[in-house]
Chains A and B, each alone.
Chain A
Amino acid sequence: MATVIVTLSRKTDDPWASALSIGIKIATFALLIRMVIAIIFSVPGDGRVLFSLPKVKLPEWLAGIFLGGDVTQERLYFVFIETLTIFALVVTIAGASSLANPKQTLRALPGVLHEAGVALIIATTLIPHFVTSIKRIREARKLRGDKRRFSFKRSLVPLFEEALERALVLAESMESRGYGYRATTDKKNAHSVLMLIGITGVLIAVIQLLTNGAFRLTLILSIGFLASGLVWANNENSRTRYRPLPWRKEEYLVLASSALAVIFAHFAFNPFSALVLFLLCSMPFFVTKKTVMAA
Chain B
Amino acid sequence: MITFDNVTLIYPYVQRTIFENLSFEVPEGEFVLVMGDTGAGKSTLLKLMNGLVPHHTGGIFSGTIKIAGRDTALHKPRELVDLIAIVGQNPALGFVTDTVEEELVFGMESLGISPEVMRKRVEDTLDLLALAPLRNRTLASLSGGEQQRAAIASVLTMNPKVLLLDEPTSALDPIAAEEVLATLSRLVHDLGITVIIAEHKLERVLQFVDRVIYVEDQNTVSIGSPEEILKESAIAPPIIQLSRALHSSEIPMTVRDARRTISHLAQDISPPERKAVAPSASEVLSIENLTIRYGEKVALENISLSIKSSEIVAVMGRNGAGKSTLLTSMVGLREIAKGSVQVVGRDPKRLHGAALISAIGFVPQESGDLLYAQSVAEELENSDQDNYVASGTTEQILRKLLPSVDSQLHPRDLSEGERLCLVLAIVLAKKPSLLILDEPTRGLDYQAKERLIKAISEIVSENTAVVIASHDVELVADIATRVVVLADGEIVADGEVSEILTSSPAFAPQVTKVLAPARWLTVSEVLQSLGEKNT
Chain A positions within 8 Å of B, measured between CB atoms, are 101, 103, 118, 122, 136-137, 139-140, 142-147, 153-154, 157-158, 161, 166, 169-181, 183, 238-244, 294-295
Q: Is B88 an interface residue (CB 8 A)?
A: yes
B 352-374 to A, binary, CB cutoff 8 A, 1 in contact else 0: 11101100001010100111100
Interchain CB contact under 8 A, B158 and A177: yes
Interchain CB contact under 8 A, A143 and B78: no
Q: Which label, helix, strand, loop or mixed, suits the secondary structure of the B interface?
A: helix
- Which chain B residues lie closer than 8 Å to A139 at the CB level? 328, 333, 364, 369
Q: A158-B369, A240-B115 are in contact. Are A177 and B387 (CB under 8 A)?
A: no
A293 to B372, CA, bound (A): 42
Interchain CB contact under 8 A, B115 and A173: no
Please give the distance in Å from A19's CB to the nearest CB on chain B: 16
Question: Which stretch, B79-87, B225-233, B235-243, B455-463, touches the partner chain A?
Answer: B79-87
Please give the distance in Å from B85's CB to the nearest CB on chain A: 7
Q: A147-B353, A178-B158, A181-B78 are in contact. Are A171 and B96 (CB under 8 A)?
A: no
Top 4 closest pairs, chain A to chain B, by CB: A173-B94, A238-B112, A145-B357, A140-B369
- Which chain B residues lie closer than 8 Å to A118 at the CB level? 96
Please give the distance in Å from A218's CB to the nearest CB on chain B: 36
A-B contacts besides A170-B94, A175-B77, 18 pairs, CB < 8 Å: A103-B98, A140-B364, A145-B354, A145-B356, A175-B55, A176-B52, A177-B154, A178-B78, A178-B158, A179-B78, A181-B78, A183-B112, A238-B111, A239-B110, A239-B112, A242-B115, A242-B119, A295-B137
Chain B minimum-CB-distance residue to A174 = B96
Interchain CB contact under 8 A, B333 and A242: no
A243 to B333, CA, bound (A): 45
Q: A172-B88, A173-B96, A178-B110 are in contact. Are A153 and B372 (CB under 8 A)?
A: yes
Number of A-B contacts (CB under 8 A): 139
Please give the distance in Å from B78's CB to the nearest CB on chain A: 5
A294 to B102, CA, bound (A): 14
Interchain CB contact under 8 A, B372 and A145: no
Q: Is B122 an interface residue (CB 8 A)?
A: yes
Interchain CB contact under 8 A, A169 and B93: yes
Chain A minimum-CB-distance residue to B137 = A295
- Which chain A residues lie closer than 8 Å to B412 at the CB level? 161
- Which chain A residues lie closer than 8 Å to B88 at the CB level? 169, 172-173
A139 to B438, CA, bound (A): 14
List residues of B (388-407) whose CB comes within 8 Å of A's CBs: none
A175 to B387, CA, bound (A): 45
A139 to B436, CA, bound (A): 15
Q: Is B426 an interface residue (CB 8 A)?
A: yes
- Which chain B residues lie closer than 8 Å to A161 at the CB level? 412
Interchain CB contact under 8 A, A172 and B52: yes
A180 to B366, CA, bound (A): 32
Query: Chain B: interface residue count, which band?
Result: 35 or more
Please give the distance in Å from A102's CB to the nearest CB on chain B: 9
B 104-115 to A, binary, CB cutoff 8 A, 1 in contact else 0: 011111111111
- Which chain B residues lie closer than 8 Å to A181 at the CB level? 78-79, 81, 110-112
Selected contact of B386 from candidates A122, A144, A170, A174, CB within 8 Å: A144
Selected contact of B108 from candidates A137, A145, A242, CB within 8 Å: A242
Chain A minimum-CB-distance residue to B332 = A142
A238 to B155, CA, bound (A): 19
A175 to B51, CA, bound (A): 10
Selected contact of B105 from candidates A137, A146, A172, A242, CB within 8 Å: A242
A136 to B155, CA, bound (A): 31
Please give the distance in Å from A41's CB to the nearest CB on chain B: 45
- Which chain B residues lie closer than 8 Å to A174 at the CB level? 96
List residues of B (418-465) whose CB comes within 8 Å of A's CBs: 426, 430
Q: Is B50 an interface residue (CB 8 A)?
A: yes
- Which chain B residues lie closer than 8 Å to A171 at the CB level? 56
- Which chain A residues lie closer than 8 Å to B530 at the CB level? none
A170 to B102, CA, bound (A): 16
Interchain CB contact under 8 A, B93 and A173: yes
- Which chain B residues lie closer than 8 Å to A240 at the CB level? 108-109, 112-115, 118
- Which chain B residues lie closer than 8 Å to A241 at the CB level? 109, 115
Q: Is B315 an interface residue (CB 8 A)?
A: no
- Which chain B residues lie closer than 8 Å to A136 at the CB level? 364, 366, 369
- Which chain B residues lie closer than 8 Å to A103 at the CB level? 97-98, 102
Please give the distance in Å from A234's CB to the nearest CB on chain B: 13
Selected contact of B86 from candidates A142, A143, A176, A183, CB within 8 Å: A176
A252 to B148, CA, bound (A): 42
CB pairs A–B below 8 angstroms (28 shown): A118-B96, A136-B364, A136-B369, A137-B369, A139-B369, A142-B333, A143-B331, A143-B370, A144-B386, A158-B371, A173-B94, A173-B95, A173-B96, A175-B56, A175-B76, A176-B52, A176-B77, A176-B155, A177-B78, A177-B81, A177-B96, A178-B107, A178-B158, A179-B106, A180-B110, A239-B112, A242-B108, A242-B122
- Which chain B residues lie closer than 8 Å to A146 at the CB level? 353, 386
Interchain CB contact under 8 A, B158 and A144: no
Chain B minimum-CB-distance residue to A158 = B372
Q: Is B136 an interface residue (CB 8 A)?
A: yes
A239 to B106, CA, bound (A): 10
